Amino acid sequence: MRFITEQRLDDDILEREFLLGDIPGILWTPVSVSEPMPLILAGPPPLGLHRAYPRLLDRVRPCVTEGYAVATIELPGSGERPRSAGADQALADLRRALAAGGPVADEIVDKLILPLVDQAVPEWRAALDDLLALPEIGGPVGYSGGVISIGTRLAAVDPRITAAVLFAGSFVPRAIIEEARHVTIPVHVLLQWDDEGNDRQMALDLFDAFGSEEKTLHANMGGHTGVPPYAGAEAGRFFTRHLK
Strand pairing report for 37-43 and 187-192: unpaired
If you compute the radius of gyration of the chain from its CA atoms, what whole number of angstroms results?
17
Give the angle 143-149-151 at the CA atoms, nearest 5°. Answer: 10
Q: Which is nearer to a second copy, 89 or 225 (CB)?
A: 225
Sign, CA torsion 227/228/229/230: negative
Rounded to the nearest whole angstrom, what is the least distance from the CB of residue 150 to a second copy in the complex? 23
Determine if 231 is a binding residue for a second copy (CB under 8 A): yes
The answer to the question of residue 242 lying near a second copy (CB under 8 A) is: no
The residue from 61, 216, 223, 224 that contacts a second copy (CB under 8 A) is 216
Going by C-alpha positions, the residue among 112, 185, 178 that lies closest to residue 143 is: 185
β-partners of residue 167 are 190
ω into 38 cis (within 30 of 0)? no
Number of residues this chain uses to bind a second copy (CB under 8 A): 21
Region of 99-107, 145-153, 156-164, 203-211 interacting with a second copy (CB under 8 A): 203-211
Helix H or strand E encompassing 7: strand 2-9
Could you tell me which stretch among 30-38, 43-51, 115-123, 225-233 binds a second copy (CB under 8 A)? 225-233
Q: Which is nearer to a second copy, 79 or 228 (CB)?
A: 228
Cβ distance to a second copy smaller for residue 103 or 226: 226
First-to-last CA distance in the chain?
26
Cα–Cα distance between 41 and 150 in angstroms, integer? 12
| Residues 46 and 77: beta-carbon distance below 8 Å | yes
Verify binding: residue 205, a second copy, rule CB under 8 A: no
The answer to the question of residue 204 lying near a second copy (CB under 8 A) is yes
Contact region for a second copy (CB under 8 A) — 11-19, 46-54, 98-106, 233-241?
233-241
Q: In b/e form, how buried is each residue of 187-197, taking b as 16+ CB within 10 angstroms?
A: bbbbbbeebee
Site string for a second copy, 125-164 (x = CB under 8 A): ----------------------------------------
The residue within the footprint of a second copy, chosen from 83, 103, 159, 193 (CB under 8 A), is 193
* Contact status, residue 13 vs residue 61, Cβ threshold 8 Å: yes
Q: Assess 213 for contact with a second copy (CB under 8 A).
A: yes
**215 makes contact with a second copy (CB under 8 A):** yes
- Least distance to a second copy from the beta carbon of 231, Å? 8
Any bridge partners for residue 192, and if so which?
Answer: 220
Using the contact rule CB under 8 A, the part of the chain among 25-33, 84-92, 117-125, 234-242 near a second copy is: 234-242
- When asked if residue 220 is in the footprint of a second copy (CB under 8 A), the reply is yes
Q: Residue ranges of the alpha helices (H) in 100-147?
A: 106-132
Residues that bind a second copy (CB under 8 A): 193, 204, 207-208, 212-221, 228, 230-231, 234, 237-238, 241
